[in-house]
């Protein structure tokens, strides 16, 4: 085992601080890499505050992890020392159930192993995430990273990227579709980039009018301030798809009203509190309310390759490790442009 430096929340709501823990030795199928950058996802914030329940403390968050390989196991074929590598939200699954066999490891029937706060099959205890110096994972759950893109802007693709790419691909969103993205944060800005790259006409629905200029730069064709009732009303029945990335409670019925006949609203944002949905919001217009969870390993690699080919990256603000509590505060206030990424050299 290797003693590894990390940054952890030791109880709900407490500031993060130094935390040393063990990583396993490199097994025959394992890849070990030094973490260079780690993105900061709103899911990290939900979990350090135990807003979804089930957080095991201390928790080392971080599931947008990129770095350089230091050691590989004897049977590893995809990686060698010195390669770039990435880990997203998953580090293992049963690999045997129908969903795993379809490359939908995120829906593993036997419970996928999340990068942090999951049961650690190797060492006991729980898994620890990317706010740390190094990580060891089975090569089946390690992604190949192109050296064409600035590495720090690639980290957020491992969660924010795949979480928005996957539903857009699943529902075959593209040319001729009118798509709205709700919430311009980490996920939202990637949804805008992908939807416009796939050829859709994109509208940004935001509570922050000061983000309009950026939204257009990111690829949105239109912008509406959801705090202004007239702007919302004017969008009735407009969209084929809505990607909802909002992290806090909001009224889904207001957005369902903006769907066209047979439209689909896809929730990727995961507010900790339940919402009331009126059946009437769906009945008129035969509308669907759907959800989507990250993406499987094959699709995550496909997304990374697509980004390398089409020069798609995350717009980031690089921060020091000890800025993390301030970053979380700003995230809560919607002040993220558009993903915080931690420079792990500062840990
Ligand atoms: P983020 O960067 O904080 O962005 C969320 C955005 O939502 C904010 O910037 C803000 O945008 C908008 N917003 C916040 N509070 C709002 C409110 N009360 N009403 C309306 N809009 C509000 O968060 P993120 O990292 O993108 O994550 C977003 C959500 O997705 C989180 O709940 C996270 O846990 C979840 N998530 C889900 C998956 C999945 O697999 N499904 C994966 C990753 C994350 P505006 O300023 O533009 O309004
Ligand atoms: Zn995430
Ligand atoms: Zn499985």
Please name the residue whose Cα sits nearest to atom 18 of ligand 1. 248
Ligand 1 contact via 41 beta carbon (within 6 Å): yes
Asked whether residue 107 is assigned to any structural domain, the reply reads yes
Q: Ligand nearest 92 Cα, by number?
A: 3
- Taking Cα atoms as reference points, which of 191, 300, 303 lies closest to residue 244? 191
> Are 68 and 170 in a shared domain?
no
Interval between CA 217 and ligand 3 midpoint (Å)? 40
Q: What is the DSSP letter of 59?
A: B
- Taking Cα atoms as reference points, which of 28, 148, 135, 18 lies closest to residue 86? 135
Q: Ligand nearest 111 Cα, by number?
A: 3
Give me the helix-helix angle, 160-170 and 297-310, nearest 10°.
100
Say how many domains are in the chain: 2
Q: What is the DSSP letter of 1?
A: -
Beta partners for residue 341, in sequence order: 39, 318
Q: Give the domain range for residue 272.
A: 161-291
Supply 228's token pair. 């202004």
Each residue of 236-274: pLDDT tens digit? 999 999 999 999 999 999 999 999 999 999 999 999 999
> Are 135 and 6 in a shared domain?
yes
**What pLDDT is attached to residue 296?**
98
> Are 174 and 155 in a shared domain?
no
- Taking Cα atoms as reference points, which of 228, 40, 60, 33 lies closest to residue 139? 33
How far is Cα 306 from Cα 73, in angstroms, rounded to an integer? 28
pLDDT in tens, the chain (347 residues): 999 999 999 999 899 999 999 999 999 999 999 999 999 999 999 999 999 999 999 999 999 999 999 999 999 999 999 999 999 999 999 999 999 999 999 999 999 999 999 999 999 999 999 999 999 999 999 999 999 999 999 999 999 999 999 999 999 999 999 999 999 999 999 999 999 999 999 999 999 999 999 999 999 999 999 999 999 999 999 999 999 999 999 999 999 999 999 999 999 999 999 999 999 999 999 999 999 999 999 999 999 999 999 999 999 999 999 999 999 999 999 999 999 999 999 99
Q: What is the largest CA-CA distance in the chain?
A: 63
How far is Cα 310 from Cα 295, in angstroms, rounded to an integer? 20
Please name the residue whose Cα sits nearest to atom 16 of ligand 1. 248
**What pLDDT is attached to residue 165?**
99
**What pLDDT is attached to residue 301?**
98
Asked whether residue 216 is assigned to any structural domain, the reply reads yes
Interval between CA 59 and ligand 2 midpoint (Å)? 15
Domain harbouring 270, CATH code: 3.40.50.720
pTM of the model as a whole: 0.98
**What pLDDT is attached to residue 199?**
98
> Are 220 and 333 in a shared domain?
no
Asked whether residue 308 is assigned to any structural domain, the reply reads no
Each residue of 165-211: pLDDT tens digit? 999 999 999 999 999 999 999 999 999 999 999 999 999 999 999 99
How far is Cα 185 from Cα 22, in angstroms, rounded to an integer? 33
Please name the residue whose Cα sits nearest to atom 5 of ligand 1. 185
> Are 144 and 191 in a shared domain?
no
Ligand 1 contact via 206 beta carbon (within 6 Å): yes
> Are 19 and 105 in a shared domain?
yes
Supply 50's token pair. 């135990």
How far is Cα 27 from Cα 215, in angstroms, rounded to an integer? 45
> Are 136 and 174 in a shared domain?
no
How far is Cα 155 from Cα 19, in angstroms, rounded to an integer? 22
Name the average pLDDT for the chain. Answer: 98
Q: Is 178 exposed, middle or buried (0-12, 13-18, 19+ CB in 10 A)?
A: buried
Ligand 1 contact via 190 beta carbon (within 6 Å): no
Beta partners for residue 92, in sequence order: 113
Supply 337's token pair. 């442009």
Domain harbouring 133, CATH code: 3.90.180.10
How far is Cα 98 from Cα 108, in angstroms, rounded to an integer? 8
Asked whether residue 269 is assigned to any structural domain, the reply reads yes
Please name the residue whose Cα sits nearest to atom 19 of ligand 1. 250
Asked whether residue 302 is assigned to any structural domain, the reply reads no
> Are 178 and 268 in a shared domain?
yes
Ligand 1 contact via 159 beta carbon (within 6 Å): yes
Ligand 1 contact via 204 beta carbon (within 6 Å): no
How far is Cα 116 from Cα 247, in angstroms, rounded to an integer? 20
Asked whether residue 306 is assigned to any structural domain, the reply reads no
**What pLDDT is attached to residue 154?**
98
């Amino acid at each position: 085992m290797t003693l590894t430096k990390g940054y952890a929340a030791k109880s709900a709501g407490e500031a993060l601080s130094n935390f040393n823990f063990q990583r396993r030795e490199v097994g025959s199928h394992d890849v070990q890499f030094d973490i260079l950058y780690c993105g900061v996802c709103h899911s990290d914030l939900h979990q350090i505050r135990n807003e979804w329940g089930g957080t095991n403390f201390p928790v080392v968050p971080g599931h947008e992890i990129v770095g350089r390989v230091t050691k590989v196991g004897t049977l590893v074929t995809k990686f060698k020392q010195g390669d770039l590598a990435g880990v997203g939200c998953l580090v293992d699954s049963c690999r045997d159930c129908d969903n795993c066999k379809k490359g939908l490891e995120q829906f593993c029937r036997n419970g996928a192993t999340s990068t942090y706060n999951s049961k650690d099959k190797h060492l006991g205890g729980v898994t620890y995430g990317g706010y740390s110096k190094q990580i060891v994972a089975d090569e089946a759950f390690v992604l190949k990273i192109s050296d064409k893109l600035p590495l720090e802007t690639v980290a957020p693709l491992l969660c924010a990227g795949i979480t928005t790419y996957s539903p857009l691909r699943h529902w075959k969103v593209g040319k001729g579709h009118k798509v709205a993205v709700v919430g311009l944060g980490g996920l939202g800005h990637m949804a805008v980039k992908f939807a416009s790259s796939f050829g859709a006409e994109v509208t940004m629905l935001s509570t922050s009018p000061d983000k309009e200029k950026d939204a257009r730069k990111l690829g949105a064709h239109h912008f509406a301030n959801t705090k202004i009732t007239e702007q919302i009303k004017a969008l009735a029945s407009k969209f084929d798809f809505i990607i909802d990335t909002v992290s806090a409670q909001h009224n889904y019925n207001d957005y369902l009203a903006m769907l066209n006949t047979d439209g689909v609203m896809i929730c990727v944002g995961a507010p900790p509190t339940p919402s009331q949905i009126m059946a009437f919001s769906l009945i008129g217009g035969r509308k669907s309310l759907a959800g989507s969870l990250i993406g499987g390993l094959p699709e995550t690699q496909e997304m990374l390759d697509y980004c390398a080919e089409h020069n798609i990256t995350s717009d980031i603000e690089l921060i020091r490790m000890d800025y993390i509590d301030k970053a979380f505060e700003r995230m809560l206030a919607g002040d993220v442009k558009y993903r915080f990424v931690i420079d792990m050299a500062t840990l």
